[in-house]
Amino acid sequence: MITLLYHRIGTDDHLAVHPQRFRWQMAWLAQHPTVTYELTFDDGTIDFANTAWPILMEYGLSATLFVVAGKVGGRADWSGGSGAPLLDWGDLAHLAAQGVTIGAHGLHHRPLDQLPPAEQMNSLRTARDRLASQLGLAPAGLAYPYGRHDAQVCASAAEAGFTHGYTARSGPSVRSTGPYRLRRTLITADDTPVCFVLKVRSGYADLTDIRMDLRRLP
């Protein structure tokens, strides 16, 4: 399974894919139904509802949106964040009713592997409970903020009730990956059509991840 990772659809920075390019990418996916993939979006900025989701619906595609539970309705003002406005609870409920899967992206977008175990667990449980309370369904999936995770984070995610967790490391997710170290391939503003197709076909976003996997071969 290849999981694609998007952040924003727009024109403001490296992590914002231009709407016209995004439309081309979704059209390509719709025209290649034998390709096995899933679409994920991190942060929950308003452009998902205004731009991404209408295009996805046009092509009959589904997606998972990972939101920062403690920032809903605010701004992406965490370290390295875009400062973009975030969807509110009403927006998220509307999207969920239309078929968008809502997952958790932490409570305040803090790197989980830098938190003490007790704080780590409290953060994850609070995020999951808040989403369940507001949307009526507890999220199954967790996208680790900044992709940061270790064995303790994975264990905490499982104990908090999440069934799977996504990293930011590229490559295909296989059985040996395990449910709490699922990989995702980042799509950025710089991806030409050729680069996009290569990423979808291979699952890899950079040579570093390829080299690491090659070293594990017998």
DSSP per residue, 75-126: B--STT----BB--HHHHHHHHHTTPEEEE--SS---GGGS-HHHHHHHHHH
> How confident is the model over 109-155, as pLDDT tens digits?
999 999 999 999 999 999 999 999 999 999 999 999 999 999 999 99
Q: For Cα atoms 5, 145, 192, give the angle at the middle one, nearest 5 degrees.
A: 25
Containing domain of residue 172, as a range?
Answer: 2-215
> How confident is the model over 49-61, as pLDDT tens digits?
999 999 999 999 9
Give the CATH number for residue 40.
3.20.20.370
> 86 forms bridges with which residues in the sheet?
45
> How confident is the model over 200-212, as pLDDT tens digits?
988 887 655 545 5
Predicted structure pTM score: 0.93
